Amino acid sequence: MRARRLFVLIFACVLVLQACVCMADEGRVRHPYILGGLLPGIGIEQAYIGARLGSYKPDLHQLDVILKQFNVSAPGAATMINVFARFKSAPQLSYLVEAGYWENETSLKPLIDADLGVTFTHISLSFLYYPDLIQRIAPLYLGIGGGIYRLKLNGSALTLLKEVVTKRENTSLGGSFVMGLEYPILERGMVSIQANHIFKNFAVDDEGKQQFSFDGTVVSIGTSVRF
């Protein structure tokens, strides 16, 4: 819960920062490098900071099979909170740095008084490409990336799954495929609709033999502001 409060706080701060930047003076000259040349040699045409809310439903296939023994379904879709920074280095290329938080839980009642919670967090880097031919029709972008993904299982139901789940936390690398649409609003703002498919399996035992699939697609809407 502390992690969720932190992400909500960061999400709110980013939204407030966007509003402040949009109200700032537009007359100043912009330097073609990030942070006004503080990092020379890193050519950045535009830099954005933003936040997005979306729905994520992982394909917890193995976990779903186990829980069906108790006539219970695995945790389904829930809200994912993301904050991100996007750096546009060329008309057709951007870099997206993103952090996200998702949690959900399911109850085994009335069969038994137990519950199972799942927390999923990630920090990822994606390379976004804006196809010139498609841009003439729609502001579509495609991307591919990867990052560090963390799964945490909690709840009293884990005592029932102790023969299967011996590792409640796991952090490892994973990949993703991104597709989205973005539209400019006002002079410095941007709104985007994005689908991000995550490819990830987590080992939940010490030997790594028991794998839980966590593949799923985040469909989200976000806003960002240009610096």
81-119 per-position pLDDT tens digit:
999 999 887 778 888 999 999 998 887 776 677 788 889
What digits encode the pLDDT tens for the residues 164-219?
A: 777 788 888 999 999 999 998 877 888 999 999 999 888 777 776 777 888 889 99
Q: What is the pTM of this model?
A: 0.76
Q: Which of 11-25, 38-52, 99-113 has the lowest mean pLDDT?
A: 11-25
221: pLDDT strictly greater than 90: yes
CATH number of 2-226: 2.40.160.20
Long-range contacts of 161-170 (CB under 8 A, 24+ apart): 161/66, 164/66, 164/204, 164/205, 164/210, 165/204, 165/205, 165/210, 166/204, 166/205, 166/206, 167/203, 167/204, 167/205, 167/206, 168/204, 170/202, 170/203, 170/204
What is the average pLDDT score of the chain? 77
